[in-house]
Amino acid sequence: MTLAIFYKLLSIIATIGLGWLALRRGWLSGQGASGDAAQVLGNAALYLFIPALLFRTMARQDLSTLPFHSLAAYFVPALLLVLLVYAWYRSRAETVDARVATRTVAAVYGNAVQLGIPMAAALFGERGLALHISLVSMHGMVLLTALTVLVELDLARAQARTSLWITLSKTVRNTVVHPVVLPALAGLVWNLTGLGLHPVPDQLLQMLGMAVVPVSLVLIGATLATYGLQGRLRGALGVSVLKLLVMPAVVLLLAHFVFGLSGMPLSVLVMMAAMPVGTNALIFAQRYGVLQAEASVAMVVSTIAFMGTAALWLALLGWMR
């Protein structure tokens, strides 16, 4: 691990700590409850900043240059793991709700932007960074859409108790009209029109999108201050193991032995998969009102543990060359 990546990890932990301190000192809550402050931050990220980032990313993506073979080598094993982890958590759940999908998000969705981009640039240079950014551009749309379908299908099944057609139609509607999925799809449709983005909305979306990282990290600290650690560590450790060890192992095996990747492209994919739990796990948890504290703890635990697991994966990839 390079010194630059280590500093990036420390800055992430420090920003989370500032969010914790801000809530504990009452800087965010004012006269209201501390939970209200965390909810406001979460809503701002979910309904304003993240949609702007996703729409702009998909609207500006050069679809003709996407490395589709490498994308398939990452997202096929990632989606396979989504289904396996979801089925495993589902089999152990006593009730049908959004907790299963929330834990699955934490187990498969990594911190690919604020930590992943500087890591890819430092370790793999321009070519590696270009591949990493291609993965990032599809990351939310593919994985979050799949997980949204699963959770909405579960919720529709539990609430509707009617025909399969009504359940499926409700699932499709709630999946498409979703603050994460809809902006990504809208950005893709806009991209396909070939109209491009006028400088004014482009800069507006860029400014809003730049707030995603700091707001999300402060939100994690605020959530930790609101709920604490007690009773959440076991679940957080479980998803951290899945994210830091199981997911990169699955991507490594399928990308290398099934898709035939090796060298730098394989390393980029494996390190993308090895990223610690991303902030979208908490955003997803807040969207459905479950496991906010566990998702926050999982990100902190996995980010700290990444200092060791990253070195492990880099050593293994170096040995395979």
pTM recorded for the entire structure: 0.76
Give the pLDDT of residue 125.
79
> What pLDDT sits at residue 173?
67
| 12: amino acid identity, one letter | I
**Does pLDDT of 241 surpass 90?**
yes
- Give the count of beta carbons closer than 10 Å to the beta carbon of residue 58: 23
Q: Measure Cα distances from 182 to 51, 102, 288 in Å.
A: 8, 19, 17
Compute the average pLDDT of residues 69-75.
93
Which position has the higher pLDDT, 100 or 232?
100
pLDDT at 299: 82
**Long-range pairs of 192-198 with CB within 8 A, sequence gap ≥ 24:** 192/63, 197/56, 197/59, 197/60
Query: What is the tens place of the pLDDT at every residue in 245-262?
Result: 999 999 999 999 999 999
CATH of the domain at 139: 1.20.1530
Rounded to whole angstroms, the Cα distance separating 238 from 246 reads: 11
pLDDT given for residue 256 in this prediction: 94
Q: Is 207 exposed, middle or buried (0-12, 13-18, 19+ CB in 10 A)?
A: exposed
pLDDT one-digit tens code per residue, 108-163: 988 887 677 777 877 887 788 778 878 887 787 788 788 888 887 777 766 655 55
Task: Quote the mean pLDDT of the chain.
Answer: 81
- Please say if the pLDDT value at position 13 is more than 70: yes
Write out the residue range of the structural domain in which residue 7 sits: 3-320
What is the average pLDDT across 202-214?
Answer: 86
Count: domains in the chain: 1
Digit-coded pLDDT (tens) for 18-42 = 888 888 777 776 554 455 777 788 7
> Taking Cα atoms as reference points, which of 5, 6, 19, 12 lies closest to residue 227?
19
Whether 236 and 96 have beta carbons less than 8 Å apart is answered as: no
Rounded to 5 degrees, φ, ψ at 277 are: -55, 130
pLDDT score at 318: 85
Of the segments 45-59, 72-86, 157-171, 282-296, which one has the largest average pLDDT value?
Answer: 72-86
State the pLDDT at residue 164: 53
- Which residue in this structure is represented by tokens 């370790």? 123
Confidence of residue 61 (pLDDT cuts 50, 70, 90): confident
Q: What is the mean pLDDT of residues 208-227?
A: 78
